[in-house]
């Protein structure tokens, strides 16, 4: 029996497997697909911090971006350019594969085309579609939004499940800026992520009428679709992220950021904490829930508050109509505010910027009218 079994060979799963294997634990990764990194279900935009957490080369990088343009209704927009790299546009298939290779080189074993169908937490047995029954001592579940492990543990899903569609299209524009279009998606936003001066990824995310809204957004761009992908994003932390020798990480735990939907940064951070807990568990000879609760304490101390605040910000955004969005864009579109956004904007930890913006007298009226001041007071006092 392997010391640690990891379900899922994405960035979070491969990170956990690499760290455990490097520490000398026999580690087995169960991956349902035949190829690591595919199918792609990600916009592929990683902050500097997220890309650094991956610990990979730049072979997967298509482009780097320096800022963003936020587009409201006609005549309402703002843009900022930090004049330095703020994010990487990557090929997730290549990135995931490189991370898996690193885990394998550290000693982790990968079992591809192994679909986990059921978890028996009482007996600590994993059931697969092929009829296998695999016992485990410690399990790290990186099995995504519809986590079989979480279901087996009886842990309810995240409160919001978003659907996303993205297409790669011919495009001409500024390759250094990402575009965000909040009015194209009533509950979230649409995006344009440049791959180069000639191609871009165009996508949209929401909970209702996503195919129709995406079709309307895509019609703004002439030319045929090169290829498209779909994905599911769980928003909101699950009620519990450990139990019966298992730790949930990444999307399986509900760790995507509510403000952007991105999950690579928090997924890898949680993988590090789960691996650390697994190593300490074996050193102590203790795999009880009391011991594994250390894992939840670690991730909560690191990024839990950011996710909680992000969920409040998402609830605020879900109540904004297009006129509110335009008013917010206009209020933010001043030299002082754009300077703050440029200097303190952080895709992974946005609370610092929000706190600074909330302290701006010029924004009191807009934030107060839209109800955002109350949200900020609940977190910052």
Q: What is the pLDDT of residues 111-142, one digit of tens each?
A: 999 999 999 999 999 999 999 999 999 999 99
Query: Mean per-residue pLDDT for 326-334?
Result: 93
Distances 258 to 149, 234, 262, 309, 333 between C-alpha atoms, Å? 23, 9, 8, 9, 23
369 has pLDDT over 90: no
296 has pLDDT over 70: yes
| pLDDT value, residue 55 | 97
Q: Give the helix/strand (H/E) hosting 97.
A: helix 92-105
**Domains of the chain listed by start with CATH number:** 4-43+91-157+238-313 (3.50.50.60), 61-89+160-234 (3.30.9.10), 320-380 (no CATH)
What is the number of residues in the chain? 381
More confident: 35 or 21: 21
377 has pLDDT over 80: no
- pLDDT band at 371; cut points 50, 70, 90: low
- pLDDT band at 372; cut points 50, 70, 90: low
Question: What is the rounded distance in angstroms from the CA atom of residue 102 to the CA atom of residue 1?
Answer: 22
Q: Are 104 and 31 in contact (CB under 8 A)?
A: no
Question: What is the rounded distance in angstroms from the CA atom of residue 162 to the CA atom of residue 171?
Answer: 26
Q: Are 277 and 295 in contact (CB under 8 A)?
A: yes
Question: What is the rounded distance in angstroms from the CA atom of residue 360 to the CA atom of residue 40?
Answer: 41
State the residue for tokens 């936003």. 189
Query: In the chain, what percentage of residues exceed pLDDT 90?
Result: 83
Query: Mean per-residue pLDDT for 56-67?
Result: 97
Q: Are 198 and 170 in contact (CB under 8 A)?
A: yes
Query: Mean per-residue pLDDT for 225-237?
Result: 89
Query: Mean per-residue pLDDT for 197-217?
Result: 95
| pLDDT value, residue 366 | 76
| pLDDT value, residue 374 | 55
Q: Are 331 and 363 in contact (CB under 8 A)?
A: yes
Q: Global pTM? A: 0.94
Reply yes or no: is the peptide bond before residue 36 cis, omega within 30 of 0. no
Query: Mean per-residue pLDDT for 181-196?
Result: 95
Query: Mean per-residue pLDDT for 25-43?
Result: 87
Query: In the chain, what percentage of residues exceed pLDDT 70?
Result: 97
DSSP conformation class of 264: H
Question: What's CA 299's distance to the chain center, in Å?
Answer: 15
268 has pLDDT over 60: yes
Q: Are 20 and 278 in contact (CB under 8 A)?
A: yes
More confident: 38 or 192: 192
379 has pLDDT over 60: no
Question: What is the rounded distance in angstroms from the CA atom of residue 85 to the CA atom of residue 63?
Answer: 10
DSSP conformation class of 107: T
Angle at 303 between CA 162 and CA 181, to 5 degrees: 40
Question: What is the rounded distance in angstroms from the CA atom of residue 304 to the CA atom of residue 302?
Answer: 6
């Amino acid at each position: 029996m392997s010391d640690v079994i990891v379900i899922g060979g994405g960035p979070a799963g491969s990170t956990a497997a690499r760290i455990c294997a490097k520490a000398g634990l026999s580690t087995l990764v169960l991956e349902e697909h035949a190829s690591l990194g595919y199918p792609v279900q990600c916009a592929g935009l990683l902050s500097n911090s997220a890309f650094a957490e991956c610990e990979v080369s730049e072979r997967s990088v298509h482009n780097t971006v320096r800022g963003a343009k936020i587009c409201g209704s006609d005549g309402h927009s703002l843009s900022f350019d930090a004049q330095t790299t703020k994010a990487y546009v990557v090929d997730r298939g290549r990135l995931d594969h490189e991370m898996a290779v690193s885990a394998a080189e550290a000693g982790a074993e990968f079992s591809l085309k192994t679909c986990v169908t059921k978890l028996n937490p009482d007996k600590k047995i994993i059931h697969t579609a092929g009829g296998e029954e695999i016992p485990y001592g410690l399990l790290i579940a990186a099995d995504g939004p519809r986590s079989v492990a979480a279901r087996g543990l009886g842990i309810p899903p995240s409160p919001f499940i978003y659907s996303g569609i993205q297409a790669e299209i011919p495009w001409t524009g500024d390759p250094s800026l990402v575009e965000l279009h909040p009015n194209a998606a009533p509950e979230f936003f649409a995006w344009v992520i440049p791959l180069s001066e000639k191609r871009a990824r165009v996508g949209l995310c929401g909970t209702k009428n996503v195919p129709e809204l995406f079709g309307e957004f895509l019609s703004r761009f002439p030319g045929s679709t090169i290829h498209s992908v779909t994905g599911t994003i769980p928003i909101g932390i699950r009620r519990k992220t450990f139990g019966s020798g298992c730790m949930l990480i990444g999307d399986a735990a509900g760790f995507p950021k509510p403000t952007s939907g991105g999950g690579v940064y928090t997924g890898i951070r949680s993988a590090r904490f789960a691996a650390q807990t697994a190593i300490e568990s074996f050193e102590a000879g203790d795999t009880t829930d009391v011991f594994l609760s250390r894992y939840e304490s670690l991730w909560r101390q690191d990024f839990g508050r950011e996710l909680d605040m992000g969920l409040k910000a998402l609830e605020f955004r879900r109540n904004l109509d297009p006129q509110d969005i335009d008013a917010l864009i206009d209020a933010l579109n001043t030299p002082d505010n754009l300077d703050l956004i440029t200097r303190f904007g952080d895709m992974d930890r946005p609370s610092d910027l929000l706190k600074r913006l909330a302290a701006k007298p010029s924004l009191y009226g807009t934030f107060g009218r839209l109800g955002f001041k109350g949200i900020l007071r609940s977190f910052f006092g």
